[in-house]
């Protein structure tokens, strides 16, 4: 087989893998989230990207980002953002960068970093009142390395490292509350399947200063095991069933931007779970009524305690 060597970027054919856009999986919910962020924030951004699925978006010499992009290790993105923000501030102070040319510093991580490996660095950045936006695309597992369970994996889901009959034995960490406890400028949960809610929250955060934190649901066809064409439908169902609350924290208060129907009228969690292969063991070869009831009860308990 003849090996072709391209000496320059101009030599790359249009169909070359490096020039074919993003190498992400078809139906990736994270791309749905990131695209809207990029559209609203505009080109005056620098994305500080922790190792993860979305690191593959920028493969030298190509990038889908219209602004700037920098790569960091999985646990280090908020620390990298601190260095970038400090450098921009120094350049502005020395009049080597005009204030109108300043960049919005945006940390981009998956849930593996946000909920686990990078949580310490994120906490420190919020403690220092770092002026940045943090976007976590939450696909509820370590998607880039085979979808092992993470601290964001929901109870009962099967992953590469929780293949047993009952699925993952742990419970999804409440990252929203952990972040809100730091009293940053803003925290929100969003979903690309509800773009109007997401757009409103991004625009609100864009005009604020200090730490602004987002957790975006990112349905993952390869990790959750469903047809890629169902990504938007699954995202909408996560909100309708109440499994993914859309809410925001600002000025010390938490409000829900969208509440599901009453317990009697909203779809049960089974409708959401049975569409994903990672929960198939809860239905076949024999229904796990006890675990299904537990998952439903936890969702009901959450909404029963919302004023």
Residue 12 lies in a domain: no
- Compare 286 and 17 and report the one with higher pLDDT: 286
Crossing angle of the two packed helices 195-206 and 29-41, in degrees rounded to 10: 40
pLDDT attached to residue 60? 79
What is the arithmetic mean of pLDDT over 169-173?
97
pLDDT at position 10: 41
For the stretch 133-166, pLDDT in tens is: 999 999 999 998 999 999 999 999 999 999 988 9
Residue 9 lies in a domain: no
> What pLDDT does residue 249 have?
98
Helix residue ranges, H only, 68-220? 77-93, 111, 119-127, 175-180, 195-206
Quote the CA–CA distance of 191 and 246 in Å, as a whole number. Answer: 8
Give me the residues paired with residue 133 across strands: 106, 212
Is residue 112 included in any domain, yes or no? Answer: yes
pLDDT at 17 over 70: no
The two tokens of residue 188 are: 């929100």
Q: How many CB atoms lie within 10 A of CB 261?
A: 12
In a domain, 10, yes or no: no
Q: What is the pLDDT of residue 57?
A: 87
What is the sign of the dihedral through the CA atoms of 194, 195, 200 and 203?
positive
Residue 266 carries which DSSP code?
Answer: S
Residue 11 vs residue 257, higher pLDDT: 257
For range 13-23, the mean pLDDT: 39
Count of the separate structural domains present in the chain? 1
What CATH number is given to the structural domain containing 136?
Answer: 3.40.50.970
Residue 266 lies in a domain: yes
184 within some domain: yes
Domain with 51 in it: 22-304
| High-pLDDT (> 70) share of the chain, % | 93
- Per the CB < 8 A criterion, the answer to whether 188 and 248 are in contact is yes
More confident position, 66 or 250: 250
Task: State yes or no: pLDDT of 265 exceeds 70.
Answer: yes
Convert the pLDDT of each residue in 67-109 to its tens digit: 999 999 999 999 999 999 999 999 999 999 999 999 999 999 9
Whether the Cβ atoms of residue 243 and residue 272 lie closer than 8 Å to each other? yes
Please report, rounded to a whole number, the percentage of residues in the chain having pLDDT higher than 90. 82
pTM for this predicted structure: 0.91
Banded model confidence at residue 23, pLDDT cuts 50, 70, 90: low
d(CA 267, CA 277): 19
Query: In this structure, is residue 255 part of a structural domain?
Result: yes
Least confident segment among 15-24, 52-61, 206-215, 273-282: 15-24
Does residue 141 lie within any of the structural domains? Answer: yes
pLDDT tens, residue by residue, 212-253: 999 999 999 999 999 999 999 999 999 999 999 999 999 999
pLDDT of residue 245: 97
What pLDDT is attached to residue 98? 96
* Per-chain mean pLDDT for the chain: 91
Distance of CA 141 to the CA centre of its chain: 11
Q: What is the DSSP string of 44-103?
A: SEEEEEESSGGGGG-BTTB-S-SSEEEEE-TT-HHHHHHHHHHHHHHHHHTTSS-GGG--
Short-list 177, 144, 135, 170, CA closest to 302 = 177
The DSSP secondary-structure symbol of 302 reads H
């Amino acid at each position: 087989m003849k090996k072709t060597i391209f000496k320059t970027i101009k030599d790359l054919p249009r169909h070359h893998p490096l020039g074919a856009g993003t190498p992400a999986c078809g139906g990736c919910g994270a791309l749905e989230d990131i695209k809207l962020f990029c559209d609203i924030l505009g080109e005056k951004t620098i994305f500080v990207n922790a190792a993860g699925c979305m690191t593959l978006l920028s493969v030298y010499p190509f990038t889908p980002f219209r602004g700037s992009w920098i790569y960091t290790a999985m646990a280090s993105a908020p620390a990298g953002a601190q260095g970038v923000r400090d450098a921009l501030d120094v350049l502005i102070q020395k009049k080597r960068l005009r204030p109108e040319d300043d960049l919005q510093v945006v940390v981009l991580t998956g849930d593996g970093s946000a909920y686990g490996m990078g949580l310490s660095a994120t906490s420190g950045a919020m403690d220092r009142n770092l002026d940045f936006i943090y976007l976590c695309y939450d696909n509820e597992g370590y998607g880039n390395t085979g979808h092992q369970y993470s601290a964001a994996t929901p109870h009962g889901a099967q992953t590469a490292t929780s293949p047993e009959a009952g699925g993952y034995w742990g419970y999804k960490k409440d990252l929203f509350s952990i972040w809100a406890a730091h009293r940053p400028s803003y925290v929100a949960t969003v979903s690309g399947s509800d773009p109007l809610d997401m757009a409103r929250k991004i625009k609100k955060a864009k005009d604020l200063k200090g730490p602004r934190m987002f957790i975006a649901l990112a349905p993952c066809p390869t990790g959750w095991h469903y047809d890629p064409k169902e990504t938007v439908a699954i995202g909408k169902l996560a909100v309708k069933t109440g499994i993914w609350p859309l809410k925001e924290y600002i000025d010390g208060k938490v409000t829900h931007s969208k509440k599901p129907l009453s317990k009697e009228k909203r779809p049960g969690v089974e409708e959401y779970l049975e569409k994903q292969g990672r929960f198939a063991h809860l239905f076949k070869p024999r229904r796990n009524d006890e675990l299904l009831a537990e998952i439903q009860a936890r969702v009901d308990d959450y909404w029963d305690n919302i004023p």
